[in-house]
Structure 1
Amino acid sequence: MKFLFFSTCVALLLCFACNSTPDHQGKVNTQLYLGDGPNQPLIVGLGGSEGGNAWTSDRWETTRNKFLEKGYAFLAVGYFGMDGLPSQLDRIPVEAVHDAMVEAAKNPNIDSHRIAIIGGSKGAELALLLASLYPDINGVVGIVPGYAVFPALTLNATTSSWTYAGKEVPFVPMPWAAVPSAMKGDLRGAFDIMIEDKEAVSRARIKIENIHGPILFLSATRDEMWPSREMADAMMKQLDAVKFPYAHKHIVVEGGHTKPQERFDSVLVFLERNFRNTK
C-alpha cells in the first residue's frame, strides 16, 4: 500500500512538472539580415522540431543569401531550444513570434506591408497559424506542413504546441492507440492514427481561409514524419472550396520529409510571381 501511494505521488508530480508553465515563455531569438536598397519585402523564417534558430546556421546561409540577392530582407526566428528560450516546443505564445516580426518590420529599409513567412514541418504549422491570425502577414510557404495544430513535443504530449491570447490553441490529441507507434519511433504511424479523429481535427484545424495572401505548400511523397502530402491536399481542397482569392499552389516532391528543402528555387519563383509585387 505504501509503495502504491508513493508511486501515485511520483506520477502526479511528474504530470504536474510536464504541464507546468514552460520556462522563458514568450521569449524568442531573432537575427535580421538586410540586403541593399529601400522597401525590401520581409521574409520571416521559422525552423521546426529541431529547435534553435535554424535559419542562422551555416546550412541555410546559401538559401538566406538567395533571398537577399533577390532584394528581400530575412528575419530568422528561434522560439525554443536555445539559452533564454523555452527548452521544449510546448505552449509557445504565437504573439511573441508576431511581435518579433513587427519589430523587425520597423526597420526603415523594410516594407512593412509586404511580409511573408516560411516554415518547415512544425514551423509550417506555426507559419500557417500565425498567418491565419494576423492580417499583416501577406504570404506563407509551408514546407511539409500540417493542416491542424498538434500536441507539444513533450514526453506526455498532453498540451498544445501554441498559445494565443493566454489560452492553449486547440490541438489534435494523441490517443492511447497511437502511443505504441510513437514509442517505437514510427511517428508517421502515430500521426496517421491521430488524424482518424475527425472531430478533433476539425476543432484544431488551422483556418487557412483567413490568410491574406498567397500560399505555397511543398510536401513529400514518402514523408516518414507525418502525412504532409495528404494534409496539403486537404488544405488545397479547402482553399478551392471557399474560392480563396489569392494564389495557392501545392508542389509534391518525390522523397522523404526533408526532400522538399531542396526546392527553394520553386519557392523563390512563387514569391516573385505572387508576393513580391503585390500590396
Structure 2
Amino acid sequence: MVRGGSEPVPVVLGLASGFPAVPCGSTMVEVTVTPQSSLADRAVQVVVRGLSPSQLVTLRAWLTDEHGERFQARAFYRADEAGEVDAARHAALGGNYAGVWPMGLFWFLQPDNLFRRLVKRDVAGSPFLVHLEVFEGLCLVTGPQDKLLAACTAERWYVGPGVQRVPIREGRVRGALLLPPGPGPFPAVIDLFGGAGGLIEFRAGLLASRGFAVLALAFFAYDDLPRTLTQLDLEYFEEAANLLLQHPKVRGPGLGVIGVSKGAEVALAMATFLPQVVATVWINGTAFLHGNPLSYKGLRIPPIPYYTERMLFTELGAMDNSAIFADPRDPACSASAIPVEKIQGKVLFVVGEDDRSFNSKLFAQLATARMRQDAYRLLSYPGAGHLIEPPGSPLCSVSVLRGSPRPVVWGGESQAHAKAQEHSWQEIVQFLELHLGPAASIKL
C-alpha cells in the first residue's frame, strides 16, 4: 500500500515495457499516459506521437478486474499535422464516445459481459492496470489482423501513498478504517453503500487520500452481521459514529456521513437523530423509510408500502424498480417520512435525474421542502443514473445485485453521467472540507 514518493513519469512504448515501438514513416510511434501512476479520481494525459499527419488510428483501453471480468473502451482519432493525438485537445471521431474527452478511455469502459459493474474490491493491495493500445486504422473489434502501433500501461490506485487500512471489529461495529498518513488529527467521515450489503471501500480510499479519516461501514451481509436487512437499527450507526470520534487521529467534535441508495437513507436518518453528524452527503436515496423499518431508542418508523406487481422488466430480463413504491406524497405514507426538519447540520443532496431505482429527485424535493433553507444544498444532474460515484468509475446502468433474483436497472446516459460524476465529486469534497475542516490531499 505504501509506495515510493518519486514523481510518476510517462510510460513510453519500448522494449522495456514489453511492446516494441513500431516505425511509422521515419518515426517511432509511442503512447504515453502522464502520470503513469495516479489516483483513480485524478485526470491523466493520454498522448500518441510519431504518427503520420492525418493518420487514422484506434485507441483502446482495457483492464481486468479482480473477478477476471474485462472492461474496455475504444475511440477513433485522426492525427494532427504534427502526427500527434492528444485526448485533451483532439476530438474522438466515434467509438464508445465522440468529441473531446480527455478521460474518455477511462470513463467509458464497458464490460465484455452483460450486467457487470466495475468495482475495486482490494483497495489497498494493488491498482487497476489499464492497458492502452494504438492500432492502425479503424478497428471496430480488435483481432490478430490489426496492426498494433504502440502500447503502455497505467496504474489507477484507490489509496495514496501512506494511507493505512485498519479492519474494524469492535463491539457490534464492522468495517474498515482508512487513515491518511501522518499524526492527524483528520476530519472524519462514515461511508455507506446500499442494497448489496457487504463492505465496499473504494470511495473511502479516495476520500482518505484527500485527507479524511474514513470508516467504510458495513451494516449487513458482512462478517457476523445479519445476512439480510430486516430493519435499520440506528443505535448500530450511533455506536459506529462514537467509535470513530474516539479515535486518537480523528478531529471532532462532529463528523460527516456519505451514502448512496440505501446508504443515503441511513445517512439522512443519522443526520436527523445523531447530533454528532454535522455534514451529510445524500446520493440518490429516499427521504422515507423503504423496504425496512427504522428503530432508535423506542422510536419506530415504518417503511412506505411497495407493490411487486408494478415491477417492470427490460427486454434482457433486468428489473426496473422505479415504480414499485407507493407515492410518498400520499398521506398514507406520512408516517414513513424521516423527520428531516430536526436536522441541525448541513446536507448536500446529489440527484441523478435518470435514476431508475428511486425517484430520487422527488425524494430530495420532499426533504428540502421541510428543511431550513440554510441547512441544505441540492445538486441535480439530467441524464445521470443511480450509481453516481467518483470520476473514473464508468457508468453502470444495469448490473447483477447480491440478493436480487435478476439484474437491476440503475439508469443513466454515459456522457451526462460522466460529467455528473466529475462535477459532484469536487463538490462533495469541498462540502466536507467546508463543514468538517480542511483536509490534506495526497499527491499522486
TM-score (norm 2): 0.48
Match of 1:210 in 2: 342
User: Cα 1:39–1:49, aligned 2, differ >3 Å: closer, same or farther?
Assistant: same
Query: AA paired with 2:342?
Result: N
Match of 2:309 in 1: 180
Separation of aligned partners in 2, 1:32 and 1:40: 12
1:1-279 matched pairs, under 5 angstroms: 27-35=172-180, 36-55=182-201, 60=202, 63-152=203-292, 160=293, 162-166=294-298, 168-174=300-306, 178-182=307-311, 185-191=319-325, 194-195=326-327, 198-239=330-371, 243-246=372-375, 248-253=376-381, 254-259=383-388, 262=421, 263-276=424-437
Contact 1:33 1:74 in 2 (8 A): yes
Q: For residues 199-248 of structure 1, what are the alpha-carbon distances to aligned partners after superposition, in whole Å with 9 as ceiling and x for unaligned?
A: 23321111222222111011111111110011112222222xxx3443x2
Query: AA paired with 2:378?
Result: H
What is the aligned-residue identity percentage? 24
Separation of aligned partners in 1, 2:262 and 2:353: 18
The alignment yields a C-alpha RMSD, in angstroms, of 2.2
Match of 2:55 in 1: none
Query: AA paired with 1:276?
Result: G
Q: For residues 237-270 of structure 1, what are the alpha-carbon distances to aligned partners after superposition, in whole Å with 9 as ceiling and x for unaligned?
A: 222xxx3443x21111232111455332221022
Q: Which runs of 5+ in 1 are unaligned?
A: 1-25, 153-159
Q: Which runs of 5+ in 2 are unaligned?
A: 1-170, 314-318, 391-420, 439-444
Task: Please identify, of 93-102 and 31-40, the stretch whose mean Cα deviation from structure 2 is larger.
Answer: 31-40
Deviation at 1:65, TM superposition (A): 3.8
Q: For residues 150-209 of structure 1, what are the alpha-carbon distances to aligned partners after superposition, in whole Å with 9 as ceiling and x for unaligned?
A: 123xxxxxxx2x3222554222122xxx22123853310112xx1256223321111222
Match of 2:33 in 1: none
Separation of aligned partners in 2, 1:189 and 1:137: 32
Separation of aligned partners in 2, 1:244 and 1:221: 22
Contact 2:204 2:216 in 1 (8 A): no
Structure having greater relative contact order (Cα 8 Å, sep ≥ 6): 1
Separation of aligned partners in 2, 1:260 and 1:34: 20
Contact 1:45 1:119 in 2 (8 A): yes
Instruction: Count residues with an aligned counterpart.
Output: 229
Report which of the two has the higher share of helix.
1
Contact 2:289 2:303 in 1 (8 A): yes
Contact 1:218 1:260 in 2 (8 A): no
Contact 1:149 1:171 in 2 (8 A): yes
Contact 1:220 1:259 in 2 (8 A): yes
